[in-house]
């Protein structure tokens, strides 16, 4: 077995450690600074969603026909908004079924929708026949996008410059 001994002088070792330390502290070579330039992203086309809500007039609560009609107008508008929410967010479906002796004894289906609709416009509100009221809504997704931009700006990287 051979042992090799090298003579390293302390001043040279101190100088080498100093150069390595200064290089690490200055960030040379290991860290890179960069500047990221962002741009907003806009869709190529915007759909216009339409929904119609219906409500019976005579089934509404109220003391007279005028109050019942006003309640039907409100109900048909809410129904149209629900339909728009279904188009935008989808509909949640829950179902259950129970069997007894391999025969269906109980079956249930539950549907729900939840969401916020902003920017919809009432296109028309009118009676249909003698006992139904209808409300038509329109939702221009370009208007929704513009409302969205006021709160959050979607971005993508436009350019990166490294220094």
The per-residue DSSP string of 90-121 comes to --EEEEEEEEETTEEEEEEEEEE------S-E
Instruction: Measure the CA–CA gap between 2 and 155, rounded to whole angstroms.
Output: 65
Task: Give the helix ranges, DSSP H, for the chain.
Answer: 10-26, 65-89, 141-151
Position 56 in a domain: yes
Position 39 in a domain: no
Terminal alpha carbon distance of the chain = 52
Token pair recorded at residue 123 = 């296109």
56-96, pLDDT tens digit by residue? 999 999 899 999 999 999 999 999 999 999 999 999 999 99
What is the model's pLDDT at position 123?
Answer: 97
What is the model's pLDDT at position 9?
Answer: 62
What is the model's pLDDT at position 7?
Answer: 57
Number of structural domains found in the chain: 1
Q: 94 pairs with which residues across the strands?
A: 110
Instruction: Measure the CA–CA gap between 73 and 51, rounded to whole angstroms.
Output: 15
Position 112 in a domain: yes
8-52, pLDDT tens digit by residue? 566 666 666 666 665 555 555 556 778 888 777 777 899 999 999
What is the model's pLDDT at position 148?
Answer: 81
- 116: containing domain: 48-160
What is the model's pLDDT at position 81?
Answer: 96
Position 81 in a domain: yes
What is the model's pLDDT at position 155?
Answer: 73
Position 142 in a domain: yes
Position 24 in a domain: no
Token pair recorded at residue 133 = 């009221």
Residue 90: what are its φ and ψ, rounded to 5°?
90, 175
How many Cα atoms within 13 Å fall on the side-chain side of residue 162? 3
Position 143 in a domain: yes
Position 138 in a domain: yes
Residue 16: what are its φ and ψ, rounded to 5°?
-65, -45
Instruction: Measure the CA–CA gap between 60 and 75, rounded to whole angstroms.
Output: 9
102-161, pLDDT tens digit by residue? 888 889 999 999 999 989 999 999 999 999 999 999 999 999 888 887 887 667 778 888
Coil, strand or helix: which one is 9? coil
């Amino acid at each position: 077995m051979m042992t090799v001994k090298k003579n390293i002088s302390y001043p040279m070792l101190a100088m080498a450690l100093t150069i390595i330390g200064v290089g690490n502290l200055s960030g040379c070579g290991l860290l890179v600074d960069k500047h990221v330039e962002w741009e907003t992203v806009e869709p190529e086309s915007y759909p216009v969603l339409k929904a119609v809500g219906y409500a019976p007039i005579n089934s509404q609560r109220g003391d007279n026909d005028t109050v019942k009609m006003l309640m039907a107008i409100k109900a048909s508008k809410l129904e149209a908004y629900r339909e728009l929410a279904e188009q935008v967010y989808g509909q949640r479906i829950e179902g259950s079924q129970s069997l007894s002796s391999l025969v269906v004894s109980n079956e249930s289906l539950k549907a729900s929708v939840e969401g916020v609709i902003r920017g919809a416009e009432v296109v028309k509100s009118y009676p249909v026949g003698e006992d139904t009221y209808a409300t038509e809504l329109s939702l221009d997704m370009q208007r929704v996008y513009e409302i969205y931009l006021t709160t959050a700006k979607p971005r993508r990287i436009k350019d990166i410059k490294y220094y």
